[in-house]
């Protein structure tokens, strides 16, 4: 099937996302889908089984964010949440370390039901998108159908992602990250089908401001993912999650320091450029880091704009700005 839209401005924007900064960017872009359809490719490395249910934290954050149902104060889970089931589980000495709200649990139950009926992960995500009223033109696709599980090698030994992230609150110093199962994974067939639909014109790819080790790594490390994206992309843009030497939330800056990298926008840029040679065309830094642009060689196309999306209007401004940048070939 050939993508049936004539205007080049309607070629999809493909956004790679974790559950934090990337999900916020996806939410801002979900208001621009009349201008340009968006495909959000979500991190599967955080997925895990809990109470017999498959939980997909980053995919779910993107679903909640793009459907306007994310709890903005917490930055995860659904707004207007209640915790009766969790309280009852705790009261019965069940596992309560992972906070599952009642409404959130409803989504996990529906996912389990669809999976039991034989639906694949992309199909389930599509069903959940529809039921949550994710805007038309916004397609959320988990990066792969295979199981990829992030594990962190720390100074205290190896931990499963949720043990590290929730159980230990990212405290143990990180030495390495491994993505269990990634060697046998392949890009989601639904993603490839969506990309094939635009075979006659190049897409643009945006790496959301997500943790490069814990959110983008499990997506970009899937065999074939880099070449499928780069081979079809007109422009690949990466938005920095490091602002003024810090992460707005989560361990990205801490991990950079632990791995011996400079925790800064230039440090992030040079690490990504070395890890994925020739993949990114354009680097987007926050205004706060404008003064550091001159520290990188001119060969890096660095652009600077406001990116702190917790501030009113900034997400919408960043979404428009990215669409403008991506409307021109590099
Ligand atoms: P996780 O799945 O919750 O770990 O989230 P992500 O990997 O998607 O995002 C975590 C990163 O998002 C952190 O390093 C934050 O600094 C970054 N981040 C969160 N909100 C924003 C924002 O509004 N702007 C930018 N530039 N980065 C953000
Ligand atoms: Ca995550």
Query: How confident is the model over 118-130, as pLDDT tens digits?
Result: 999 999 999 999 9
Question: In a mutational test of the pocket of ligand 1, which residue from 65, 208, 250 has the highest number of ligand atoms less than 8 Å from its CB?
Answer: 250
pLDDT digits 0-9 by tens, 309-328: 999 999 999 999 999 999 88
Spatial distance between the Cα atoms of 274 and 85, rounded to a whole number of angstroms: 46
Express as a percent the part of the chain with pLDDT over 90: 91
Tokens of 219: 């997506």
For the residues 70-83, what does the mean pLDDT come to?
94
Tokens of 49: 């089984």
For the residues 234-249, what does the mean pLDDT come to?
97
Q: How far is the CA of 255 from the centre of ligand 2 (A)?
A: 14
pLDDT above 70 (res 4): no
Instruction: Give Cβ neighbours of residue 152 (< 8 Å, ≥ 6 apart).
Output: 158, 159, 161, 164, 172, 174, 176, 177, 178
What does the DSSP 8-state code read for residue 135?
Answer: P
- Model's pTM, two decimal places? 0.96
* Amino acid 8: pLDDT: 46
For the residues 93-111, what does the mean pLDDT come to?
96
For 28, the enclosing helix (H) or strand (E) is: helix 21-29
For the residues 227-243, what does the mean pLDDT come to?
96
For the residues 81-86, what does the mean pLDDT come to?
98
Domain borders along the chain are 13-48+58-68+121-326
Q: How far is the CA of 309 from the centre of ligand 1 (A)?
A: 10
pLDDT band (50, 70, 90) for residue 3? very low
Tokens of 123: 């199909």
Q: Whose CA is nearest to atom 2 of ligand 1?
A: 19
For the residues 213-219, what does the mean pLDDT come to?
98
pLDDT above 70 (res 5): no
Beta-strand pair 242-243/246-247: antiparallel
Q: How far is the CA of 287 from the centre of ligand 2 (A)?
A: 25
- The CATH number of the structural domain formed by 13-48+58-68+121-326 is 3.40.50.10680
* Amino acid 284: pLDDT: 98
Ligand 1 contacts CB of residue 247 (under 6 A)? yes
pLDDT band (50, 70, 90) for residue 117? very high
- Average pLDDT along the chain: 95
pLDDT digits 0-9 by tens, 252-287: 999 999 999 999 999 999 999 999 999 999 999 999
Transcribe 228-267 into DSSP letters. HHHHHEEEEEEE-SEETTEESSSSHHHHHHHTT---SHHH
pLDDT digits 0-9 by tens, 9-68: 478 999 999 999 999 999 999 999 988 999 999 999 999 999 999 999 999 999 999 999
Cβ proximity of 218 and 144 under 8 Å: no
Q: How far is the CA of 257 from the centre of ligand 2 (A)?
A: 19
Ligand 1 contacts CB of residue 215 (under 6 A)? yes
User: How many C-beta neighbours within 10 Å does residue 35 have?
Assistant: 17
Ligand 1 contacts CB of residue 22 (under 6 A)? yes
- Strand segments, DSSP code E, in the chain are 13-17, 38-42, 48-50, 53-55, 138-142, 149-154, 157-160, 174-180, 203-207, 233-239, 242-243, 246-247, 282-286, 301-305
Ligand 1 contacts CB of residue 150 (under 6 A)? no
Q: 163-190 burial, b if ≥16 CB within 10 A, otherwise e?
A: bbbeeeebebebeebebbebeebebbeb
The residues with which 178 forms a beta bridge, in sequence order, are 151
pLDDT above 80 (res 2): no
Ligand 1 contacts CB of residue 319 (under 6 A)? no
pLDDT above 60 (res 182): yes
* Amino acid 46: pLDDT: 97
Q: How far is the CA of 87 from the centre of ligand 1 (A)?
A: 29
pLDDT band (50, 70, 90) for residue 152? very high
* Amino acid 100: pLDDT: 95
* Amino acid 200: pLDDT: 75
Spatial distance between the Cα atoms of 300 and 305, rounded to a whole number of angstroms: 16
User: How many C-beta neighbours within 10 Å does residue 83 have?
Assistant: 16
* Amino acid 201: pLDDT: 76
* Amino acid 1: pLDDT: 35
For the residues 129-156, what does the mean pLDDT come to?
97
Question: In a mutational test of the pocket of ligand 1, which residue from 42, 45, 249 has the highest number of ligand atoms less than 8 Å from its CB?
Answer: 249
- Nearest ligand 1 atom, CA 211: 7
Tokens of 60: 């779910």
- Nearest ligand 1 atom, CA 253: 14
């Amino acid at each position: 099937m050939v993508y049936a839209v004539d205007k080049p401005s309607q070629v999809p924007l493909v956004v790679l996302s974790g559950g934090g900064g990337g999900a916020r960017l996806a939410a801002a872009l979900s208001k621009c889908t009349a201008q340009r359809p968006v495909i959000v490719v979500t991190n599967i490395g955080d997925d895990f089984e809990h109470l017999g249910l498959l939980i997909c934290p980053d995919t779910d954050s993107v679903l909640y964010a793009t459907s306007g149902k994310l709890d903005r104060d917490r930055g995860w889970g659904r707004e207007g949440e209640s915790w009766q089931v969790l309280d009852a589980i705790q009261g019965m000495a069940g596992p309560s370390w992972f906070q599952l709200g009642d409404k959130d649990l409803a989504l996990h139950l529906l996912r389990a039901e669809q999976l039991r009926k034989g639906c694949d992960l992309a199909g389930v995500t599509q069903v959940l998108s529809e039921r949550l009223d994710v805007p038309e033109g916004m397609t959320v696709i988990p990066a792969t159908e295979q199981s990829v599980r992030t594990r962190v090698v720390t100074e205290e030994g190896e931990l499963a992602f949720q043990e590290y992230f929730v159980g230990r609150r990212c405290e143990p110093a990180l030495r390495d990250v491994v993505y269990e199962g990634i060697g046998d994974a392949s890009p989601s067939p639904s993603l490839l089908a969506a990309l094939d639909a635009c075979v006659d014109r190049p897409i643009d790819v945006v790496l959301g401001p997500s943790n490069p080790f814990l959110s983008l790594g499990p997506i970009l490390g899937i065999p074939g993912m880099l070449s499928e994206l780069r081979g079809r992309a007109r422009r690949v843009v990466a938005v920095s999650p490091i602002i003024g030497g810090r992460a707005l939330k989560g361990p990205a800056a801490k991990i950079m320091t632990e791995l011996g990298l400079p925790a800064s926008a230039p440090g992030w840029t040079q690490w990504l450029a070395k890890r994925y040679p020739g993949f990114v065309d354009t680097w987007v830094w926050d205004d706060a880091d404008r003064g550091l642009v001159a520290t990188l060689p001119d060969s890096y196309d660095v652009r600077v704009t406001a990116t702190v999306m917790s501030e009113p209007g900034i997400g919408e401004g960043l979404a428009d700005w990215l669409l403008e940048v991506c409307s021109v070939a590099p």
